[in-house]
Structure 1
Amino acid sequence: MAMEPSQCELYIYAPSFSLALAAIIIFSVLTTVHFLRMTRSKAWSGIYFVLGGIAQTSGYTARLFSTQDPCNRVAYGIQSVLLLLGPTVMMFSVNLAMIEFTRALRAERFCWIPIDFQRPVCLSVNTALVLLQFIGGIMTVSSTTMNVIAMATKIGIAVFVTQTIFWLFTLAEHTYMTIRLRHVLDEANNLKPVFPNWKYWSQLFGLAISIIATGRNIVRLTMDGGIAFLIENEWPSYAFDGYQMIIVMGAWAIWYLPGKLQAELETYTSLPIHTRDPRFSGEGRAQRRHDRVQRRQERLGREHLESYGSY
């Protein structure tokens, strides 16, 4: 059932004090945890989770002010823009961790985009999307002209669609890499993975992208499409958008992958060159090819001897 409408045109419903307060408390705690884990591990790629958490906390703080004064346009504008940008900013850390994860596994050759180009590509695409989303958000909250609002809505829809396609592409590339890596490790069954329990850590990427790129963006697209149920009630924006980010931030705070990757990188680079794992180097690949050819020749030789003995 729809909530009681506010007395001005900004909110169709009366903003909930309790929902906003709960979001502020939870996001404040999670942002603090991410900040502490980032500084202790010196995994600076995690800064975007901190910035995204600050955006979420500040956005819901502005929403809390709106519960007392629903007609305050400044508070409405702040919460609208910051809650729009928070999850997008978090995806910077997810994409950067995905690149570092590939490097930690020495699986660069399985990437569709060369690994040296992935960081600038991800940063450039995500930055462009954040800026466009920011412009669209500002246009929506600051304009009273229907043509401008309609244009801002189209910009927002285009950004959500582009985000979904790009982030799902990165997830598909990551999935392909993990499948190929499993195949390599299964072939060389006497070798252990470079990154312990890497299959479990890999699930964090699927969690983040499935929630932000698909779940959250689809809900936002549906709201932009004018579905009455979603825009006339406040709780869907919490249940299917804001509180979903709590799951992502909470999982990445508990299993802090940027810190794990930083530790793995420091351990690997501190090893002498001759002790580093050669599996994914050119020399290691050549050795595996040689071993496969030798096993095939031995098998053919045994089959030849068996067929000769049958005569």
Structure 2
Amino acid sequence: MGSDGPFGPVVNGTQIVFFEYRPNKTAAFSFIALFALATLGHFIYFALRAWFFLPFILGGIAETFGYYGRAWASDSPDELGPFIMQNLLILAAPPFLAATIYMTLGRIITSLGAQRRSWIKPSWITKIYVLIDIGCIVTQLGGSAILASGDPSAISKSKTILLAGLITQIVTLSFFVLNSWHLYSRCKRDMFLVAEKDLRFNWHNHFRAILVVAPVMIVRSIVRTVEFLQGNTGFVASREVFIYVFDAFLMFFIMLVFLIIHPGRLVRDARRI
């Protein structure tokens, strides 16, 4: 087997392209280790009883095995199994991370007693955003599964489904960032809230964490949207560096931010008060 792409099976005399290049095994194993360690760290945080972080941990597990699929694909870039594994899990993992980001805002609002300062009630924030996110997860899983069928018409349909999920996620996250920023601004102006809470814990950092990780998630979704719009032979899809810089690294960065500033600590401290 040659070292140059494209790689993929030949169906009815036509090659179905899985990769334009041979996936880099070293890079894949590096992120397997990083995601595995970050996921283990978040699993340990269950001591805080932050059960709303379960989707986050599932996302970390999906990222870990997704990049294992890429390492496997380095040896077998023409086989369907590793292609499905890496494509499905790496696309489906970010919506799981996003679900916890959405739920985190509701926990912050409740912990600060800032329900009246939000555009949407905390309980509805969780319901609305998570329901939309479930739809995004379904489109990522469904689109990825159809993409591996090899049927040209099915591939075209799968890309439409994937793009719909990615664009929905971009719009949802953008509104979420605006809502978070509005809420943070109002809380900072509330002198009673500042005097009551700042003496005991720094709630500002938890808002700042959300206002960092949510835009990072938007950047990732925009790059993946451009990738699918350009197709397999496009500038983004044909260069492996994009998946590591604008997907793997950004998702690991989000997991790292929440390891350092874990919302479970805020919820615990608020309960003690």
Asked if Structure 1 and Structure 2 have the same fold, meaning a TM-score greater than 0.5 normalized by the shorter chain, the answer is yes
**Counterpart residue number, 2:134:** 127
1:84 matched to 2:88? The reply is: no
* CA shift for structure 1 position 118: 2.2
Q: In 2, distance between residues paired with 1:263 and 1:75?
A: 41
What is the alpha-carbon root mean square deviation over aligned residues? 1.8
CA–CA distance in structure 2, aligned partners of residues 154 and 7 of structure 1: 23
CA deviations on 1:24-70 (whole Å, 9 max, x unpaired) are 11111111011011x21111111122100100000111111111111
- Residue in 1 aligned with 2:12? none
Contact kept? 2:173, 2:215, Cα under 8 Å: no
Q: Distance in 2 between matches of 1:189 and 1:90?
A: 29
TM-score, normalised via structure 1 length: 0.79
The alpha-carbon distance between structure 1 residues 265 and 160, as it changes in their structure 2 partners (threshold 3 A), is same
Listed as ranges, the gaps of 5+ residues in structure 2 are: 9-16
| 1:288 alignment counterpart | none
Q: Which residue does the alignment assign to 2:225?
A: 221
- Partner in structure 2 of residue 276 of structure 1: none
Q: Which residue of 2 aligns with 1:110?
A: 117
Q: 1:184 to 1:262 in 2, by over 3 A?
A: closer
Distance in 2 between residues matched to 1:163 and 1:6, nearest whole Å:
30
Q: Secondary structure at the match of 1:206?
A: helix
Unaligned runs of 5+ in 1: 269-311
**Could you tell me which amino acid in structure 1 is paired with residue 214 of structure 2?**
I
Equivalent residue in structure 2 for 1:267, among 260, 268, 272: 272
Overall identity of the aligned pairs, in %: 22
**Among residues 190, 194, 210, which one is paired with 1:184 in the alignment?**
190
SS for the counterpart of 1:231 is coil
Contact 1:129–1:163 (CA under 8 A) maintained in structure 2:
yes
TM-score by length of 2: 0.90
Counterpart residue number, 1:156: 162
| Aligned-partner SS, 2:237 | helix
Q: 2:32 aligns with which of 24, 38, 44?
A: 24
Hey, what's the Cα distance between the residues in 2 that align with 1:145 and 1:88?
Answer: 27
SS in 1 for 2:23: coil
Out of 150, 167, 172, the position equivalent to 1:166 is: 172
Aligned partner (choices 183, 195, 201) of residue 196 of structure 1: 201
AA partner of residue 252 (structure 1): F
CA contact (8 A) 1:52 1:90 kept: yes
Question: More deviation in 96-105 or 111-120?
Answer: 111-120
Alignment size in residue pairs: 260
Q: Is the 8 A contact 2:236 2:242 kept in 1?
A: yes
Return closer, same or farther for 1:233/1:204 CA change in 2, 3 Å cut-off.
Answer: same
Looking at structure 2, the residues matched to 20 and 147 of structure 1 have their Cα atoms a distance apart, in angstroms, of 31
2:211 to 206, 220, 223: 206
Q: Is the 8 A contact 2:109 2:115 kept in 1?
A: yes
- Find the residue that maps to 1:191 and give its secondary structure: helix
Is the Cα contact below 8 Å between 2:140 and 2:165 reproduced in 1?
yes
Q: Contact (CA 8 Å) 1:6, 1:70: kept in 2 or not? A: no
Q: Would the aligned equivalents of 2:22 and 2:74 in 1 still touch at CA under 8 Å?
A: yes
Other-structure match for 1:273: none
Change in CA separation of 1:99 and 1:150 when aligned onto 2, cut-off 3 Å: same
Shift of 1:189: 9.3
Matches within 5 A, 1:25-40: 25-37=33-45, 39-40=46-47
Q: Does residue 1:56 correspond to 2:60, yes or no?
A: no
List structure 1 runs of 4+ shifted beyond 6 angstroms: none
CA contact (8 A) 2:111 2:267 kept: no
Higher mean C-alpha deviation, range 214-223 or range 115-124: 115-124
**Distance in structure 2 (CA, Å) of the matches to 1:233 and 1:189:** 49
